[in-house]
Amino acid sequence: MKSFPFFATVLCLLPSVIAFATPTSEWAKKEAVTLMSLYRDLHTHPELSLHEEKTRELLVKELKQAGLEVAPVLGNTGIVAFLKNGNGPRVMVRTDLDALPIIEETGLSFASKVATKKKDGTDVGVMHACGHDIHMTTWIGVARYLSTHKDEWSGTVMFLGQPAEEIGAGAALLLGEGLYKKYPKPDFALALHVSANLETGKVSFHPGYALAGADSVDVIMIGKGGHGAMPNRAIDPVTMASQLVLDVQNLISREKDPVDPGVITAGSFHCGTKHNIIPESCLVQFTVRSFSPETRKQLLDGIKRKAVAIAQGSNAPPPSVVVDKEPVPPLFNEPKLVERVVPFLKKALGSENVVLESQIMVSEDFGRYGSEGVPIFMFNLGSVKGKRLEKMRASANVPSLHSAHYFPDAEDTLTAGITAMSEAIMGLLPRS
């Protein structure tokens, strides 16, 4: 994610990471200590997308202990729970449940040692490298706070635990199974996401289109296999695929409007079995990020056009170009909701700790919940202590999300996250 200026606010008399103490922040600071065991449990036992069974079981137990009403399972591993407190609006607060196929290299005493197999049979580790363990623990902390402070708000809070965010499928799955039909549609939906580049005690936000839409594109360049010593008797798909990886960047630098954001990245390149064998085909997998429908179409059409042209230039069969049928849409933070919530974030953490950021090209399927007229707002939560972040920046070594080396300063992050989200929800659910 995008880095932010370092705003140092030091109040020596206050041990909290939050610039000034509030009743909510003082409660959250104490609760964060007790929540660390849950956080470590979630971090040590991550589960991949659509396999979050034990994670769901653990969180449901926590929700019930906090006094919430847990609805029947949705989407195999999804969680829907309610905290009702008289008349008032309905606010949905979402957490994501899944982890990533990454071998953890943080060196933490409670690091994940979970391993599984990919579809091709190769071994891979499993790690919460995107902070979903923080999201879930914060979510439980917010449930505990709202459950024990019912005199401060009125209405209904829906706690949604979403599977499969990392593969962009979970929100569509839950909505497709009737989330807004089986249960009352929320008036507002909120979520947070950790940032690896923002210090603890701070949050950041962007009104309007904040996160990019994402398309997955599989291109198979088809050649003619043969001996590596006699390439003239074959059609080499490796060279065609390599040319495609480079050529598509001209779509960004020379065809797309420079002021309209767009990114194409080749994240996977698979072909061949041995040094001296020219393979029959080569698979390249692209992620395409954009905000506007026009740019999205331009980039997707351009990838196909260039793949076809490269094949024709090599006298090869036409390539296969397949675009994911369910792309992740851009995330649109409803400006009126942002305007309404931000003052409560400032109340929670201090005005100097609430930062306006620019758009970024990562994607998040939380944006799907904005369908059917539900205003949504996702904000970012700082997760690295200021001194540690300063040191990493000085060495130009700040692990990003999805890195095997990323880990948050959990206790401080939880304190700020519980404080901010609790105040945001209560701002939308004022007392009767």
Q: What is the mean pLDDT of residues 342-359?
A: 97
Residue 246 has pLDDT above 80, yes or no: yes
What residues pair up with 80 in beta bridges, in sequence order?
160
Please give the pLDDT value at position 432: 67
CA 401 distance to own-chain centroid: 9
- Residue pair 159/186 in contact by the 8 Å Cβ criterion: no
Phi (first) and psi of residue 306, to 5 degrees: -70, -35
**Distance between CA atoms of residues 240 and 220, nearest Å:** 10
Q: What is the mean pLDDT of residues 348-361?
A: 96
Characterize the bridge pairing of strands 188-199 and 213-222.
unpaired
Would you tell me the crossing angle of helices 410-428 and 132-148 to the nearest 10 degrees?
A: 50
Rg (CA), the chain: 23
Please give the pLDDT value at position 431: 85
Q: Is 285 helix (H, G, I), strand (E, B) or coil?
A: strand
Average of per-residue pLDDT values in the chain: 94
What residues pair up with 369 in beta bridges, in sequence order?
none
Q: What six digits make up the tokens of 184?
A: 């009352």
Q: How many CB atoms lie within 10 A of CB 325?
A: 6
Chain position carrying tokens 């409803």? 334
Please give the pLDDT value at position 16: 38
Q: Which helix (H) or strand (E) holds 268?
A: strand 262-270
Residue-wise pLDDT tens digits, 253-269: 999 999 999 999 999 99
Q: What is the mean pLDDT of residues 390-410?
A: 96
Q: Is 213 helix (H, G, I), strand (E, B) or coil?
A: strand
Residue 122 confidence class, pLDDT cut points 50, 70, 90? confident
Kindly report the pTM of this predicted structure.
Answer: 0.90
Please give the pLDDT value at position 204: 98
Residue 14 confidence class, pLDDT cut points 50, 70, 90? very low
- Please tell me what DSSP assigns to residue 363: -
Q: Which of 167, 38, 47 is nearest to 115 (CA)?
A: 47
Residue 20 has pLDDT above 90, yes or no: no
**Distance between CA atoms of residues 141 and 330, nearest Å:** 29
Residue 112 has pLDDT above 70, yes or no: yes
Residue 191 has pLDDT above 70, yes or no: yes
Please give the pLDDT value at position 253: 97
**Distance between CA atoms of residues 301 and 323, nearest Å:** 10
Please give the pLDDT value at position 5: 35
Q: What is the mean pLDDT of residues 176-182?
A: 97
Q: What is the mean pLDDT of residues 188-197?
A: 98
